[in-house]
């Protein structure tokens, strides 16, 4: 069954037991992204403190791929310097556009390498990217906010 | 075939296995050699050889721009194109000059909506189509986006108000409040004939009677009905009917708008340009009568001719026989899929007043994941909101998995689907 290349154990684990799910305070930006082709939705918040990603919280509905990839995202970017988090985001985007041909950087992408199988199914690439594109959007919005005297974006 | 299938089938009205040989694509395999089980004809139907041959024959022997040349090829092309119009007219019991070729059902509906907003700046003959503040446009909660968004946009352009019929828990149109939904202010009532998500066939007579009482025109989205049941516009009692060629074994890129002759004659054009003009001067232009008025530019000629071949093919099998075959498949699918534990049918659970569109949800699983595993087994279904997002919201679900059946589908394929759903549940358990 070719299907196992898409639904790897890691992905199914994250789907059944998502990490950091739910919307939390405080946050610097909140975005709502949808996949119009299938109606999947995610609301995602980011909290940036001192140039690091302090928290990513999210809620939404979608398929196993979109839900698992958002869960994996939070593992990889929370507690990382923002610059590093964005590098991971870029690497994941490249992986998903590789049509299964990429040799992903295990050190950088960790569990996210499991999604290489998904990249072979063009209709599902947008599912895997839903939370990741929301994260990129949210960090950009957080960065464009004025910095308060405490050094925290308002 | 199971015993239940035999019980529900009765004698076959045509030989499905023989008919399948007319469809080259149905012979192919998918996903590592599995036989294709194509249950997505609601999205687009497969094409018989007769349709492919008609298109190819046009390009090989008769290709010319219609309605322009005086040479022999142009005459032949005209004859084939207008011949296709006559075939389509006969197929739905219409007059030939009431058939407008469009790109698809979506364009047909947009044509009416844009003509209505153009009416405000047209002559007095178009007065009955003028829509403005205080007027109402009526749709339903089960519309495909193609019969919802054009009307939302018409309201936005003109200041009219959009109203809609609700859908009940069984996926039936709630007509209990017909008199308050369709009021004296209604200018147009736009409704789907057969839902592309839940399969419901709507009671057009009840709606049309009320709409005509208050002077509203009735626009019907027939994309899911015309391919699947005998449709006679004389009996429907509506004013416009739009449908797509590609869902009825015809080519993509061609659709049909039927309209009552006197209404089409009073309607201003939507798209303008070549072919639709009478006299053009620098200061202004007069337009041809319908249907030419609504067919600007060189049309989708080969596609229209292919659609003519498709209606010949469907008529050859017999639309009543096709409808009965689909009814049998639907009853069987509702009983087989409906009996699976953890599976819920969205829409009417009995086959009466519904078509061969069976939507369902599997407990704990997203439709995308269900569809993906079915695809791995060679079963092509559609997943998601099916371009009817408000209806998914109405049922508080992200979407459904949808199986749709056509003349070439078999009871054995429904068995494969039911077994496939069971495999899906095991895969994710």
Same domain, B306 and B338: no
Where among B265, B281, B315 does a domain terminate? B315
Chain A residues whose beta carbon lies within 8 Å of the beta carbon of residue B29? none
Task: Encode pLDDT of A13-48 as tens digits.
Answer: 999 999 999 999 999 999 999 998 878 899 999 999
- Listed range (A113-122, B108-117, B218-227, B243-252) with the worst mean pLDDT: A113-122
Instruction: Report d(CA A92, CA A30) in Å as an integer.
Output: 21
Question: Of B138, B89, B98, B92, which Cα lies nearest the Cα of B267?
Answer: B98
pLDDT higher at A149 or A48: A48
Chain A closest CA to B304's CA: distance in Å?
A: 29
Instruction: Report d(CA B419, CA B2) in Å as an integer.
Output: 12
Boundaries of domain holding B179: 52-315
pLDDT recorded at residue A144:
85
Q: How far apart are the first and last CA of chain A?
A: 50
Same domain, B347 and B424: yes
Q: Say yes or no to pLDDT of A104 above 90.
A: no
Mean pLDDT computed over B178-204: 98
Res. A152 pLDDT band, cuts 50 70 90? very low
| DSSP conformation letters of B152-189 | HHHHHHH--EEEEE-B-TTS-B--TTHHHHS-TTEEEE
Res. A100 pLDDT band, cuts 50 70 90? confident
Report the 10 Å Cβ neighbour count for A33. Answer: 21
Q: Are strands B37-38 and B379-380 parallel, antiparallel or unpaired?
A: parallel
B155 is catalytic: no
Mean pLDDT computed over B14-27: 97
Same domain, B35 and B136: no
- Listed range (A140-154, B193-207, B405-419) with the worst mean pLDDT: A140-154
Task: Encode pLDDT of B380-412 as tens digits.
Answer: 999 999 999 999 999 999 899 999 999 999 999
Res. A153 pLDDT band, cuts 50 70 90? very low
User: Which residue is associated with the tokens 């609601």?
Assistant: B42
Res. B13 pLDDT band, cuts 50 70 90? confident
Q: Say yes or no to pLDDT of B2 above 60.
A: no
Q: Say yes or no to pLDDT of B234 above 70.
A: yes
Where among B262, B289, B315 does a domain terminate? B315
User: Which residue is associated with the tokens 């009814």?
Assistant: B327
Same domain, B184 and B261: yes
Chain A residues whose beta carbon lies within 8 Å of the beta carbon of residue B428? 12, 64
Same domain, B405 and B354: yes
B214 backbone φψ class: left, alpha, beta (φ>0; ψ -120 to 50): alpha
* Residue of chain A nearest B371, judged by CA positions: A63
Instruction: Among B368, B400, B401, pick the best mutation site for testing chain A contact (most A Cβ within 10 A).
Output: B368
| Residues A60, B405 contacting (CB under 8 angstroms) | no
Q: How many residues does chain B have?
A: 429
**B341 CB contacts (<8 Å, ≥6 apart)?**
none
Q: Look at chain B and report how many structural domains it folds into.
A: 2
Instruction: Report d(CA B289, CA A32) in Å as an integer.
Output: 49
Q: Note whether A39 contacts B385, CB cutoff 8 Å.
A: yes
Instruction: Report d(CA B160, CA B151) in Å as an integer.
Output: 10
CA B86 to chain centre: 20
Instruction: Report d(CA B341, CA B272) in Å as an integer.
Output: 55
**B323 CB contacts (<8 Å, ≥6 apart)?**
B228, B229, B230
Same domain, B406 and B270: no
Task: Encode pLDDT of B358-385 as tens digits.
Answer: 999 999 999 999 999 999 999 999 999 9
pTM of the model: 0.93
Which among B376, B384, B427 is the nearest to A38, CB-wise? B384
Catalytic residue among B223, B387, B388, B407: B387
pLDDT recorded at residue B31:
93
The CATH number for B110's domain is: 3.40.640.10
ipTM above 0.90, yes or no: no
Task: Encode pLDDT of B269-313 as tens digits.
Answer: 999 999 999 999 999 999 999 999 999 999 999 999 999 999 999
Instruction: Report d(CA B223, CA B192) in Å as an integer.
Output: 8
The CATH number for B327's domain is: 3.90.1150.10
pLDDT recorded at residue B277:
95
Same domain, B298 and B191: yes
pLDDT higher at A152 or B187: B187
Coil, strand or helix at B94: coil
- Listed range (A111-115, B320-324, B333-337, B422-426) with the worst mean pLDDT: A111-115
The widest CA-to-CA distance across chain A, in whole angstroms, is 57
């Amino acid at each position: 069954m070719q299907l196992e290349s898409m639904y790897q154990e890691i992905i199914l684990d994250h789907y059944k037991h998502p990490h950091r799910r739910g919307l939390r305070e405080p946050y610097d930006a909140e975005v709502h992204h949808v996949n119009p082709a299938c109606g999947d939705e995610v609301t995602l918040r980011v909290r940036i403190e001192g140039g690091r990603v302090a928290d990513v919280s999210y809620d939404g509905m979608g398929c196993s791929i979109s839900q698992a990839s958002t869960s994996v995202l939070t593992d990889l970017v929370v507690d990382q310097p923002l610059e590093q988090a964005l590098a991971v985001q870029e690497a994941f985007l490249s992986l998903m556009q590789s049509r299964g041909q990429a040799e992903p950087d295990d050190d950088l992408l960790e569990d996210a390498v499991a999604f290489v199988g998904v990249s072979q199914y063009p209709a599902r690439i947008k599912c895997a990217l839903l939370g990741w594109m929301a994260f990129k959007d949210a960090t950009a919005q957080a960065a464009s906010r004025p910095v308060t005297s405490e050094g925290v974006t308002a | 075939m199971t015993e239940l299938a035999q019980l529900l089938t009765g004698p076959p009205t045509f030989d499905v296995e023989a008919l399948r040989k007319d469809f080259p694509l149905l012979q192919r395999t998918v996903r590592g050699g599995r036989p294709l089980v194509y249950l997505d004809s609601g999205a687009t139907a497969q094409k018989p050889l007769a349709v492919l041959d008609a298109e190819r024959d046009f390009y090989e022997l008769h290709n010319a721009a219609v309605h322009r040349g005086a040479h022999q090829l142009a005459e032949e092309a005209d004859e084939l194109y207008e011949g296709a119009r006559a075939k389509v007219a006969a197929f739905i019991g219409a007059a030939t000059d009431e058939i407008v070729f469009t790109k698809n059902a979506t364009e047909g509906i947009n044509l009416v909506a844009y003509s209505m907003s153009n009416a405000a700046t047209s002559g007095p003959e178009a007065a009955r189509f003028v829509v403005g503040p205080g007027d109402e446009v009526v749709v339903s909660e089960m519309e495909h986006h193609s019969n919802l968004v054009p009307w939302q946009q018409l309201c936005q352009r003109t200041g009219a108000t959009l109203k809609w019929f609700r859908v009940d828990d069984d996926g039936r149109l709630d007509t209990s409040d017909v008199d308050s939904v369709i009021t004296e202010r209604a200018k147009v009532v736009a409704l789907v004939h057969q839902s592309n998500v839940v399969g419901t066939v709507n009671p057009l007579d009840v709606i049309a009677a009320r709409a005509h009482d208050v002077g509203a025109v009735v626009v019907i989205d027939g994309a899911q009905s015309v391919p699947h049941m005998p449709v006679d516009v004389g009996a429907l009692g509506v004013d416009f009917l739009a449908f797509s060629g590609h869902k009825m074994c015809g080519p993509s890129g061609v659709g049909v708008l039927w309209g009552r002759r006197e209404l089409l004659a009073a309607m201003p054009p939507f798209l303008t340009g070549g072919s639709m003009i009478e006299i053009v001067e620098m200061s202004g232009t007069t337009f041809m009568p319908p249907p030419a008025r609504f067919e600007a530019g060189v049309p989708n000629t080969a596609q229209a001719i292919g659609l003519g071949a498709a209606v010949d093919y469907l008529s050859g099998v017999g639309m009543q026989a096709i409808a009965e075959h689909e009814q049998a498949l639907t009853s069987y699918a509702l009983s087989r899929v409906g009996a699976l534990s953890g599976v819920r049918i969205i829409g009417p659970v009995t086959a009466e007043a519904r078509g061969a569109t069976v939507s369902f949800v599997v407990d704990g699983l997203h439709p995308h994941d269900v569809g993906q595993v079915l695809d791995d087994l060679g079963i092509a279904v559609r997943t998601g909101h099916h371009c009817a997002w408000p209806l998914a919201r109405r049922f508080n679900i992200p979407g459904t998995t949808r199986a749709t059946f056509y003349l070439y589908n078999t009871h054995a394929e429904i068995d494969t689907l039911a077994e496939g759903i069971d495999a899906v549940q095991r895969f994710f358990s």
